[in-house]
Structure 1
Amino acid sequence: MASDPTAGGAPADMPVETPDSTLDIPAKPESAADWQRLVEQLQAEKADLQDKQLRALAEAQNVRRRAQQDVEKERKFGIERFARDVLSVADNLGRALSALPADLESVDPTVRNVVTGVQATERELLSVLERHGVTRIEALGKPFNAEFHQAMMEIEDPTVPSGTVVQELVPGYLIAGRLLRAAMVGVSKGGPRATPQANNEN
């Protein structure tokens, strides 16, 4: 009679347990030199992990800083296109006011009231723009600066230094200190040269 292979023991289909070869468990040190090597290995792994942690923290800090810079930039310059469009409204108000006669006393009182309203509207518009970081470039009487001014014409005027802005055709504006629109100006010629120091002024 054949003996039953499963009799008195484990069933035939039960897997035999073998050591897990995926675990990286170092062998138990047997000598002082082995212990020393194990300590050095663990210290090297610790230093490597610390270095990786510091790099990850630095990268996370850089990402956070870049995100903050992007938010700040968007806050400052996000309205740039809108502000540039609004400038045409300010230009039209300015043109309307510059077309008025110098002496408003001779004008009908009703027209004077309209003029006063337009002046108040222009002041309010410029105030709103300024509250949002849009400021007007002071150009008249300043030395020409290609960074902020666009020369449209030269005007013969020997009484002022050559290269001085003597006429402002269209005002220029900055947004948060950055150029939004250059001032279109007339520049003097024929006078003495402006000093290099004056040329650095905005």
Structure 2
Amino acid sequence: MSQEQDANQPKPEDLEINETLDQASDAEVEAGEQPQVQSLEQAQIQALEEELAVANATISEQKDGVLRARADIENARRRAELEIDKARKFALEKFAGELLPVIDNLERAMQSANSEDEAIKPLLDGVDLTLKSFLSTIEKFGLEIVNPEGEQFNPDHHQAMSLQESTELPANTVMAVMQKGYLLNGRLLRPAMVMVSRAPSEGVDTQA
């Protein structure tokens, strides 16, 4: 009986062989599965990196779009402010132009009347007061008188009506103003009509 039991028990040599086979099997399993697990993790990391890159690109595009929209809104606001300011400054341009002949007539009345005549002196004083009050009022709305006598001729604001030789004044100097000019908020409403000096036997450069 004891001999049969001894025969059924594994021998030490067999145990060593089985252990060696088990170790070899585990090594094969590890060698076969570990690269597969690493490859799956790398694929997941790469996919996440690609998704992150796409998300960053989308955020960048949306940020650029917001900045462009903000810039467009700011430009539109500035243009609107400029148009409003321009309309406010020059809304009276046509009306002011219609008033200029009235000013001219009042000034002619003052120039042509005899200020030494006591009979009409009160009338002239009234016209003078009216003219000054009138000019003071329209100046509050940006109207500016162009009366360049003695100044250098400026073709942007002056219109040369005649030339006169002069040895006393430099060439291209305004000798006399035939009709005053006017600016409205810096914009020419009417040029001043002037007489311009010139050197003897020389022309005047009205474009200087």
Q: Normalising by structure 2, report the TM-score.
A: 0.73
Among candidates 131, 137, 152, match of residue 143 of structure 1: 152
1:181 counterpart letter in structure 2: R
Q: Segments of 4+ in structure 1 off by > 4 A?
A: none
Aligned-pair distance for 1:190? 3.4
Q: Deviations over 1:166-200 (max 9, x none)?
A: 1111101111112111000111223699xxxxx98
Distance 1:38 1:125 in 2: 75
Shift of 1:128: 1.2
Structure 1 equivalent of residue 106 of structure 2: 93
Determine which structure has the larger helix proportion and give its number.
2
Structure 1 residues 103-118: aligned runs within 5 Å: 104-108=115-119, 111-118=120-127
1:54-77 Cα distance to aligned partner (Å, 9 max, x none): 100100000001000001111111
C-alpha contact (below 8 Å) 1:160/1:191 kept by paired residues:
no
In angstroms, what is the RMSD of aligned CA positions? 2.1
State the one-letter code of the partner of 1:100: A
Q: Which amino acid aligns with 2:189?
A: L
Q: For residue 31 of structure 1, give the secondary structure of its aligned residue in structure 2.
A: helix
User: What does residue 59 of structure 1 align with?
Assistant: 72
The CA deviation string for residues 85-117 of structure 1, in whole angstroms up to 9 with x for no partner, is 11111111111111112xx33331xx2111101
| Identical-residue share of aligned pairs (%) | 35
Give unmatched runs, 5+ long, in structure 1. 1-29, 194-198
CA contact (8 A) 1:142 1:164 kept: yes
Residue 125 of structure 1: how far off its partner (Å): 1.2
In structure 2, the gaps of 5 or more residues are: 1-42
Q: Which residue does the alignment assign to 2:195?
A: 186
Mark the CA change 1:40 to 1:71 in structure 2 (over 3 Å): closer, same or farther. Answer: same
Distance 2:69 2:178 in 1: 55
Tell me the CA shift for residue 141 of structure 1.
0.6
How do 1:24-173 residues align onto structure 2 when only pairs under 5 Å count? 31-101=44-114, 104-108=115-119, 111-173=120-182
**CA radius of gyration, larger in:** 2
Does structure 2 retain, via aligned residues, the 8 Å contact 1:148–1:172?
yes
Q: What TM-score, normalized by structure 1, do the two folds share? A: 0.75
Letter in 1 for 2:165: E
Secondary structure, in 3 states, of the residue corresponding to 1:68? helix
